[in-house]
Structure 1
């Protein structure tokens, strides 16, 4: 396995997020990736590499150019408004809801922050663009490595901030560029006929679903907490099956809070069967380990040992596979749980 890790990830280090009505320290921290790297030193499952430069042309095909331009310049613009802003992260305060226009790009900076975001829990910092762009490079390089001569069976984009909540022109859920979607598009560009993206994070991969919802060449599947009670709330229901050419190419498997591994693994088997039926010839796993029983913001009951079984089950597909790092906020256990998935897969 080749593991592309993000040397710029710690540049994105938010001070606060809005969580359940209060400003609190961010759950998504550089320590998450540090624990994974430490566990990989203890239990190597592959070769660590750093990525090359990000393919901005590919990023601008998956994400709208005006959104990418905003991310690239937002921090400098924020500080230019007032030098004291350098001590305060960017959080949105106003959003265009139903009936409002989103086709006209506002001149006001606060309005543009709201236009391109969907929650107040994702601080934009001085290093957000560098970290997100380098993470995208990890995902693209991981996908392209699968298509090279003498390709490995699997690769990983070990990066933060995560990506699966980011859509064509919006960020949220700690996500700014959608690494799983970028990997899937890179696989398609490289010759994969059909790609499946399986999201196993506790939270629905709303950004990934929205990016591919009307496409027949990329199937999106997500096992997650029921959106009637769990973030991101407004997508992820079982009746969302795709539209237009993509009808039947989206599968959501929402599960109630408190689901244990027996219930979760039954959903996984359903998803794997659907991937086989679809005829995918490459696979992207949006790997969140916030399904863990000790996660502070999630409510499933998956144990550390269960992640070995998850990796082994995914491996039964026999597909070239890219893993992208998503959520997991029980920081001390994140490394164990991520490496357990990888170890179960390669074994």
Structure 2
């Protein structure tokens, strides 16, 4: 299986976020790439640099208003006297309808859901190369590879069409899925991250051409709180095309795999001909966020079950934070996926 990533993805280096009202070091660090590269290599994956795909695939998912904001907000913010070194919102609208603010401060609040996605001088270019890694992996599958791994960092599944959040700026999984749809594929997205992929759900919530399925810690007491509940089934044309499986805190291998079986049945009922796996390794029992309790061997079992669908698959990296087993968890997943059916 090929792995795609670019060194430019390391330059985004966020310094802080707020957790329960307290400033904390941001856990979405560039070192994640080094650990994940090591894990991919240990699984026998070849590392490839993606091409610069421009904005076309990104703009197929995100609004031009939002993309213009991401490209220019840091420079505009840096001109504000006394502004922080990173773009961090201090105001959010109660409703995002009607007028659009002209000020950098107002636009930051409009386009950033929380404090976990600070924007620096290097954020835009890192986010673009992350998205291009996902596009390149999708292209590999379209060219005949049975699977490809996009080492996306920064991650993407909390990014809506025009809102950043939860360490995410461009929704890499959605961009890969839309790229496959454009080529005529019928696509399902399976998100196995610790956190609900609220941005991915939001992008496709009113559409019937992409099925979105997510297993995650129950958001009633866990980020992202306001999305990811079992009664969120889609709307309009998309009603019945969104399936959430919230899990109790500390769910381990057996409970996760039981829920995964239900997720796979739903995907089979949709009859897709391509799959995007939003791979979060933060469901690990030793991950700093501590929401679920999947073991390292459990990731191999999860991968084997998903690979059993027999679908051409784009695996897109989402969460999974610095801990001793991060590399091993990726190795277990990629190895399990590649060995399924042998």
TM-score (norm 1): 0.95
CA distance in 2, matches of 1:153, 1:103: 45
The structural deviation recorded for 1:323 is 0.6
The structural deviation recorded for 1:103 is 3.6
Match of 1:326 in 2: 318
The structural deviation recorded for 1:38 is 2.0
Alpha-carbon displacement from aligned partner over 1:111-145 (angstroms, at most 9, x marks no partner): 10000011112211111101000111111111122
CA distance in 1, matches of 2:43, 2:247: 33
Q: Give the secondary structure class of the aligned counterpart of 1:198.
A: strand
Q: Give the secondary structure class of the aligned counterpart of 2:199.
A: helix
Match of 1:145 in 2: 140
- 1:35·1:331 contact (CA, 8 Å) conserved in 2? no
Q: CA RMSD in A?
A: 1.3
CA distance in 1, matches of 2:26, 2:10: 13
Match of 1:241 in 2: 233
TM-score (norm 2): 0.96
CA distance in 2, matches of 1:337, 1:103: 45
CA distance in 1, matches of 2:153, 2:210: 24
Q: What 5-or-longer segments of structure 1 have no aligned partner?
A: none
Match of 2:276 in 1: 284
1:156-171 equivalence runs, <5 A: 156-171=149-164
Q: Give the secondary structure class of the aligned counterpart of 1:204.
A: coil
- Are residue 123 (structure 1) and residue 118 (structure 2) matched? yes
The structural deviation recorded for 1:227 is 1.0
Match of 2:73 in 1: 74
The structural deviation recorded for 1:61 is 2.1
Q: Give the secondary structure class of the aligned counterpart of 2:60.
A: helix
Aligned length: 339
Match of 1:49 in 2: 48
- 2:288·2:323 contact (CA, 8 Å) conserved in 1? no
CA distance in 2, matches of 1:75, 1:45: 39
Q: Give the secondary structure class of the aligned counterpart of 1:24.
A: strand
The structural deviation recorded for 1:337 is 0.7
CA distance in 2, matches of 1:339, 1:256: 26
The structural deviation recorded for 1:14 is 0.7
The structural deviation recorded for 1:183 is 0.3
- 1:52·1:137 contact (CA, 8 Å) conserved in 2? yes
